[in-house]
Amino acid sequence: MNIPDELIQALQQTARVTVMTGAGISQESGIPTFRDAMEGLWAKYDPAELATPEAFERDPERVTRWYDERRMKCLSARPNAGHHALARMESAFQDRGDYFVLITQNIDGLHRSAGSRDVIELHGSIRRWRCVACNRARDEDGGLFETYPPRCECGGMRRPDVVWFGEFLPEAAVRRATAASLSCNLFLSVGTSGVVYPAADLLNTAKVAGAKIVEVNPEPTPASAFADWMLPGRAGDVLPKLAEITERKRM
């Protein structure tokens, strides 16, 4: 696919870029997207059912077992060309003193592993687990837990430090993501179906504030109607092209 000239211009003239990614960018790293995450054992549950405080309340063992299996998949996954391209774009923009902010809805940590320095994780991290009693939290990079739910030293149950449906997003992350959407002049929406709020609002916030919108997705989404450029392709194919344009000297 070739990149439209006006988008090439925009990428090379623009000084303020904000990117928001969803599960689609990790699909090429072998992590099923949220909707098709329900494979095998989990085929009979609706993910939005399991990713709730009520589900945890009702059956902490089943919920923490599901997350721990997803944690293993995330820990063994490798960032793909899409993740690496965004890390290159961050360096290209920031090295020339321009503004580049990466927001993600993903909890898999792959942007950081690809070298992105500053990632706003709107929905938390599946690697970090916290105690519901004393709030002690730490990254878990080892094998599967022995017991479910895993227990804290204080005896409390530990849960993944992710945002479940019906839970508020981390205040600081929302503030930073909103500021980045308000102040950019190019907003890239990559690999997201744009149906989960309030994350899905950020594209609209950027649009209303006057930013040009680029969407990268093999399928159209509800956001496609608002996009100035809809690039119908996989993140791993399209983003390296955008990174290469960004790294080329400005006209």
Q: Are 193 and 203 in contact (CB under 8 A)?
A: no
Separation of alpha carbons 82 and 235, rounded Å: 5
**Count of positions on this chain that bind Zn ion (CB under 5 A):** 7
**C-beta of 215: minimal distance to ligand BV8 in Å?**
9
- Does 199 help bind ligand BV8 (rule: CB under 6 A)? yes
Single-letter residue type at 94: Q
In the chain, the amino acid numbered 17 is: V
Between 123 and 159, CB nearer to Zn ion: 159
User: What would the x/- binding string for Zn ion be over residues 95 to 134, using CB under 5 A?
Assistant: ------------------------------------x-xx
- Does 68 engage in binding with ligand BV8 (CB under 6 A)? no
Structure tokens of 79? 């960032």
Binding mask 69-98 for ligand BV8 (x = CB under 6 A): ------------------------------
Q: Which of 20, 31, 81, 107 binds ligand BV8 (CB under 6 A)?
A: 107
Return the structure tokens found at 132. 């519901």
The CA-based dihedral angle spanning residues 126, 56, 152, 155, taken in that order and rounded to the nearest 10 degrees: 180
Give the count of alpha carbons within 13 A of 3, CB side only.
20
Residues serving a catalytic function are: 123
Q: Which residues bind Zn ion (CB under 5 A)?
A: 131, 133-134, 136, 152, 154, 156
